Structure 1
Amino acid sequence: MMPTWRLRDFHDDDLDRAVQIWDQDGQTDDSPPVFPISEVMAVARTGGPAVVAVVGEDLVGMAVAQVQGDRAWITLVALAGTWRNRGIGSALIAELERRLRIQGVRRIVQGGHRTLRAHVTPGTPRRICGSGVGVRAGGIR
Structure 2
Amino acid sequence: MDAASGGGTQEQGTLRAFHQLYASSSYLGEGQFLSLSNLLMLTPGFTVSPAPHLKVSMEYGHARRQQEDDNVYAGGMRVYQGTENVQGVRIGNLLRVHTNWALTENIKLILNYENLSRGEVLRRARLPSGSYVQVGVTYRY
Normalising by the smaller structure, the TM-score range is: under 0.3
Select the structure that is richer in helix: 1
When Rg is computed on C-alpha atoms for both structures, the one with the higher figure is 2
TM-score (norm 1): 0.26
TM-score (norm 2): 0.26
